[in-house]
Amino acid sequence: MTTMNQQVNELVVKDLTELWDGRLPTWDEFKEASHEGRVRVNKTVAAQAIHWKGIPTVMVVLYGIITIWAAFLLTPVMIGLYFFDVVGGWWILGGVFGAWLLLQVSRDGQCEGIKMGAERNEALYSTLVANGAFLFPPSQ
């Protein structure tokens, strides 16, 4: 039984294949499209692939560890500080907003990280594109 994420990823691969006349784009075509800003990245695949070999280490640490953990810990820390009477109640709301913001930054960074890794490593690109990570049209 396939999950909803797997079905979406398969549809992305199907759509990409249709855009490229029945084939997946080559690594060089991907790099060209990436430099032109035409590549859209699947955020779900990016979240799963951010720790794969070939992704730049700085992107893994920053967006796969630091920002994601900060996002998940910010609100509970604010709640704890409120109960110890260190901060006021508005800080909890600020913590929720900050966590949401950090989560968005983390997701966007994960997308950039796998795109950077795919630009540097053809084998990684092949694996990612086959798993529905990228969607981009041919150049006009």
The predicted-structure confidence for 65-123, as pLDDT tens digits, reads as follows 999 999 999 999 999 999 999 999 999 999 999 999 999 999 999 999 999 999 999 99
Cβ contact 56:65 at 8 Å: no
Pairing of strands 134-135, 40-41: antiparallel
Q: What is the average per-residue pLDDT within 114-136?
A: 97
Which are the contacts of 45, defined by CB distance < 8 A and separation ≥ 6? Answer: 9, 114, 128, 131, 132, 133
Residue 135 has pLDDT above 80, yes or no: yes
At 11 the pLDDT is: 95
Cα distances from 15 to residues 11, 86, 112, 115, 129, in angstroms, run 6, 53, 21, 19, 12
Residue 15 has pLDDT above 80, yes or no: yes
For the chain, the structural domain boundaries read 8-135
Determine the Cα–Cα distance for residues 11 and 3; give it in Å rounded to an integer.
Answer: 13
Q: What is the average per-residue pLDDT within 124-128?
A: 98
The predicted-structure confidence for 29-64, as pLDDT tens digits, reads as follows 999 999 999 999 999 999 999 999 999 999 999 999
Determine the Cα–Cα distance for residues 40 and 122; give it in Å rounded to an integer.
Answer: 18
Whole-structure pTM value:
0.91
At 116 the pLDDT is: 98
Determine the Cα–Cα distance for residues 47 and 113; give it in Å rounded to an integer.
Answer: 10
Instruction: Tell me the pLDDT band of 1, cut-offs 50, 70 and 90.
Output: confident
Cα distances from 108 to residues 10, 91, 111, in angstroms, run 22, 25, 5
At 140 the pLDDT is: 79
Determine the Cα–Cα distance for residues 110 and 33; give it in Å rounded to an integer.
Answer: 18
